[in-house]
């Protein structure tokens, strides 16, 4: 009896010591830790400028979250961005995704890759790793493959094609213009193909427009003269461009100016690259004046303070699509982490599948709603048309986002 009691007391003492040790150790486990978010973007090559702008937006968001105390439901966990470079091809983007996931198995989510061609390749890897992936890629194929872990916050290119041209016609009719002859010049990247295919198939015909020039090229361009010169003989009164990077934009704009078309031919391209600061710096205010771009995000009403902080932090002239998308994606992940109280891939994936909000991070997306359908496409995603006016891009459509009236080339 006595022996049993002694053993019992020793056991109790041992348990007490163990509990005490656990109590001492507990604060260390509860201390703020790190939550890693991957970012796979082009930081080199022709598409590098867009990736850099994305990184600026993401880094600012992470700095804001961490300065506000981190993820409070995780004991003040700090967010850390893990950037990897896609470089200049789909193969390298896929390799970058493989390395990023292998090097950092504790990633809870990732952002990427701006260019849809790269996104399609990289998400083949992230899907197998069950890594939630946020993108604003335009290609319809991104969310039509039956993937479970890919979520797109942009309106797809087919939607853009169907809605952009009617918006352009409405702008033209408002100033007494009635374009009927359309020229189309685009590259063969995934988003551009998704944008131009419905234009060729039915959109232009449905609107009574005639396609008088149709050119496709492989980026990057060495010279755009051969693409632009036929425009003079085509007598188009509206040009739709589907380029995908700033260097190509410069060559196309220079060629339009060289052939005397930039001041007289209304033109629109797809994507935020056309309204990057480098475009006006490398071409000139007069050459870009009036050029339009269809994007799927742009700072709107209520984002003024954010834009001013971004400009002070980055020394950029303005905050555009890429930066506000990245900022919004980080803020969305922050909310999901706070709600879940768990930094795991299943928690993020579940949060993305079930979220439906019109406040908080939703303010950083047109339509101010964050909800995803069964395919991972954001519900209600729409488009914004931005135009170069007096050396700066301004939103001219839709009316609830516009900060200026559109101008139409004579």
Cα separation, 186 vs 244, in Å, equals 9
Quick one: pLDDT at residue 5?
39
Residue with tokens 């003492």: 13
Which structural domains are found in the chain, ordered by start? 34-155+300-379 (3.40.50.2300), 158-295+385-397 (3.40.50.2300)
Report angle CA 307, 74, 341 to the nearest 5 degrees: 95
Question: In this structure, is the dihedral angle defined by the CA atoms of residues 335, 106, 352 and 133, taken in order, positive or negative?
Answer: positive
Quick one: pLDDT at residue 197?
96
Quick one: pLDDT at residue 18?
38
163 Cβ contact partners less than 8 Å away, ≥ 6 residues apart: 155, 382, 383
- pLDDT tens digits in sequence order for the chain, 410 residues long: 444 333 343 333 343 333 343 333 333 444 349 999 999 999 999 999 999 999 999 999 999 999 999 999 999 999 999 999 999 999 999 999 999 999 999 999 999 999 999 999 999 999 999 999 999 999 999 999 999 999 999 999 999 999 999 999 999 999 999 999 999 999 999 999 999 999 999 999 999 999 999 999 999 999 999 999 999 999 999 999 999 999 999 999 999 999 999 989 999 999 999 999 999 999 999 999 999 999 999 998 789 999 999 999 999 999 999 999 999 999 999 999 999 999 999 999 999 999 999 999 999 999 899 999 999 999 999 999 999 999 999 999 998 888 899 999 87
Residue 86, classified by CB atoms within 10 Å of its CB into exposed (0-12), middle (13-18) or buried (19+), is: buried
Q: Where are the beta strands (DSSP E) in 45-201?
A: 78-85, 109-112, 133-135, 150-152, 181-187
DSSP state of 88: T
Name 385's bridge partners.
294, 397
Cα separation, 97 vs 350, in Å, equals 22
Cα separation, 335 vs 105, in Å, equals 22
């Amino acid at each position: 009896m006595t022996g049993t009691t002694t053993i019992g007391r020793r056991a109790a003492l041992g348990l007490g010591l163990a509990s005490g040790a656990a109590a001492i150790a507990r604060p260390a486990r509860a201390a703020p830790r790190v939550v890693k978010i991957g970012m796979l973007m082009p930081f080199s090559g022709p598409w590098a400028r867009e990736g850099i702008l994305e990184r600026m937006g993401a880094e600012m968001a992470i700095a804001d979250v961490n300065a506000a105390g981190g993820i409070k439901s995780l004991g003040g966990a700090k967010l850390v961005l893990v950037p990897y470079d896609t470089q200049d091809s789909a193969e390298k983007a896929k390799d970058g995704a493989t390395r990023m996931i292998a090097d950092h198995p504790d990633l809870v989510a990732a952002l990427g890759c701006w260019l849809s061609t790269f996104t399609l390749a990289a998400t083949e890897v992230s899907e197998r790793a069950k890594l939630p992936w946020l993108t604003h890629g335009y290609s319809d194929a991104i969310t039509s493959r039956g993937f479970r872990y890919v979520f797109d916050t942009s309106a797809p290119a087919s939607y853009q094609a169907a809605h952009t041209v009617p918006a352009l016609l409405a702008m033209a009719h408002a100033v007494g213009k009635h374009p009927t002859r359309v020229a189309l010049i685009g590259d063969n990247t995934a988003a551009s193909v998704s944008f131009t295919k419905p234009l060729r198939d039915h959109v232009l015909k449905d609107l009574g427009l005639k396609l008088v020039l149709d050119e496709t090229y492989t980026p990057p361009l060495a010279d755009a003269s051969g693409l632009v010169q036929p425009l003079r003989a085509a007598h188009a009164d509206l040009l739709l461009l589907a380029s995908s990077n700033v260097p190509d934009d410069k060559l196309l704009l220079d060629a339009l100016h060289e052939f005397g078309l930039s001041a007289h031919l209304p033109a629109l391209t797809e994507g935020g690259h056309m309204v990057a600061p480098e475009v006006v710096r490398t071409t000139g205010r007069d050459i870009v004046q009036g050029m339009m771009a269809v994007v799927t995000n742009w700072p709107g009403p209520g984002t003024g303070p954010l834009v001013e902080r971004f400009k002070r932090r980055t020394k950029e002239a303005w905050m555009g699509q890429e930066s506000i998308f990245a900022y919004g994606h980080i803020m969305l992940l922050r909310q999901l982490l706070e709600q879940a109280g768990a930094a795991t891939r299943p928690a993020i994936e579940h949060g993305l599948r079930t979220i439906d909000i019109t406040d908080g991070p939703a303010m950083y997306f047109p339509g101010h709603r964050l909800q995803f359908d069964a395919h991972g496409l954001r519900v209600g995603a729409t488009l914004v048309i931005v135009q170069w006016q007096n050396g700066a891009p301004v939103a001219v459509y839709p009316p609830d986002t516009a900060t200026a009236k559109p101008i139409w080339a004579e």
